[in-house]
Structure 1
Amino acid sequence: MPTQQQPPKVSFKEQMHQAREDAILRSTCQLLGAKPFDAMTMDDVAAAVGIAKASLYKHFCSKEELCSAAMVKLLDNVYAYLAGLPAETPPQDKLHALVRWSLEHLMTNEMPLLPGRNSTLRAVLMANQGYLDRLEAVSCQVHAWIVEAQAQGSIQPALPPKVVLYTLYARACDPVVSFLKESGEYTDAEIVDLVVRICFDGLAAR
């Protein structure tokens, strides 16, 4: 019986390097959730992580490279979350789960603001093949669930699937969340429930 080959051991130094890089990417996502790309600086990231800016540049040579990596990491997390949903879950419930996941991360500033059409970050991302590939993978999966939910009658079949897709994506940067949070009238969980309900049920009386 052949012996199973063990994966190569990762040195302590490499583990620390990866842990610091993960912390950098998490902090970058949080900063991009709180301020626009053009307003964020490498000093902001270094301060948030608690490292010297020189150490930050050992991982990423520019703000553009750093933010691209953070957005790629975010899409990896989204795709992993979608892939982890039980296969037997109805498509509309999967869409509900995606919106809820996005809103929960938005509440904690872990969901970067979508880059504006003319922003520097958008131009950088559109030139990043890794980002585009992941965005396509996530979009294809969500689009398939939308079409399936429309076929089952749980989402209006007259709506173009792309319109539904973009509407769901927009919830990841919905200003209603911050307005409600600042009012202090609702808990985070109540805000998420309300926005999910409005997203899927609308405002019309039933």
Structure 2
Amino acid sequence: MSIFGRLSFKDQAFQLREDAILDAATRILASKGFDLMTMDDVATEVGISKPSLYKHFKSKDDLVGAAMIRLIDGALSFLEELPEDLDAVGRLRALLEWALRVRLSGGLPFLPSTSPGVRDMLTRNLRYVTRVLKLNGILKGLVATAKKAGALDASLPDDVILFSYYSRTCDPAVEYLRIYAKLDDEAIVSHMLDVCFGGIGVKKV
């Protein structure tokens, strides 16, 4: 039974509105960024009053935290649903492809901002931190396994590989390739994956 099957009509309506609010916040964050986004922007986008918005989220920090939690939950669910026989580097590649497609469709990157204020806000959100630590632990395990299998450069520290991997989800090259190179989303995803896992050097035969 789905979660909606266990909720009353009133609770279902509340949950649907909350999903719409998170969708709107995600779009605005992707286009304007945290500092320029306002609760008025979100309420207008959803078509509700600001008091109604505050029934769901008490502040902008609370709303942005919920949007990031939803992203991380989506990543964790995606990893859980991958085929069991897919190897470590295949899992890393599949998750990055998923993250790039989420971003190209207007979603958020795993690393949400270079702003110290945003980072500090998120690190105070226990629900967010708990999920990020879980995702980071899974990915760090995949990196270590892939290195042992010879699929990743064993001379690189795990954290160098891991944070380089995270950074691909917020690489501005994605926007530049779409706007200036006129590449479609499929080509962008394919090339970004190749650059991440193969580099830009000439492949040795």
Fold agreement, TM-score > 0.5: yes
Does residue 169 (structure 1) correspond to residue 158 (structure 2)? The answer is no
Whether the 8 Å contact between 1:102 and 1:171 is mirrored in structure 2 is: no
Distance in 2 (alpha carbons) for counterparts of 1:19 and 1:72: 17
Name the SS for the 1:38 alignment partner. Answer: coil
1:144 corresponding residue in structure 2 = 141
1:116 equivalent in structure 2: 114
Unaligned runs of 5+ in 2: none
Instruction: Provide the C-alpha distance between the structure 2 equivalents of 1:73 and 1:9, rounded to a whole number of angstroms.
Output: 20
Of the three residues 190, 194, 197, the one matched with 2:187 is 190
Q: Share of identical aligned residues, percent?
A: 37
Matched, 1:36 2:33: yes
Q: Which has the higher contact order (CA 8 A, sep 6+)?
A: 1
Displacement of 1:34 in angstroms is: 1.7
CA distance in 2, matches of 1:35, 1:163: 29
User: Which of 40, 43, 50 is 1:46 aligned to?
Assistant: 43
TM-score (norm 1): 0.91
CA deviation after TM superposition for structure 1 residue 35, in Å: 2.2
Partner of 2:126: 129
CA distance in 1, matches of 2:153, 2:6: 52
What is the alpha-carbon distance in structure 2 between the residues aligned to residue 34 and residue 144 of structure 1?
33
Q: Contact 1:72 / 1:134 at 8 angstroms: preserved in 2?
A: yes
| Aligned counterparts of 1:20 and 1:72: Cα–Cα separation in 2 | 17
Whether 1:12 and 2:9 are equivalent positions in the alignment is yes
The alpha carbon displacement at 1:30 in A equals 2.1
- CA RMSD, Structure 1 to Structure 2 (Å): 1.6
Instruction: State whether structure 2 residue 61 is matched by structure 1 residue 70.
Output: no
With over 3 angstroms needed to count, the CA separation of the structure-2 counterparts of 1:143 and 1:9, relative to structure 1, is: closer
SS in 1 for 2:156: coil
Structure 1 residues 132-141 or 64-73, which shifts more?
Answer: 64-73
Residue 150 of structure 2 is matched in structure 1 by 153
Q: CA deviation at 1:51?
A: 1.7
Distance 1:20 1:65 in 2: 16
**Higher mean C-alpha displacement, 14-23 vs 43-52:** 43-52
Q: How many residues align?
A: 199
AA paired with 1:161?
Answer: D
Unaligned residue ranges in structure 1 (runs of 5+): 1-6
In structure 2, what is the equivalent of residue 4 of structure 1? none
Structure 1 residue identity aligned to 2:114: G
Structure 2 counterpart SS, 1:57:
helix
Question: CA–CA distance in 1 between the matches of 2:130 and 2:139?
Answer: 14
Equivalents in 2 of 1:154, 1:57: separation in Å?
48
CA distance in 1, matches of 2:11, 2:91: 37
**Partner AA of 1:90 in structure 2:** D
Q: Does 1:98 align with 2:95?
A: yes
What is the deviation of 1:8?
A: 8.5
User: What TM-score do you get using the length of structure 2 for normalisation?
Assistant: 0.92
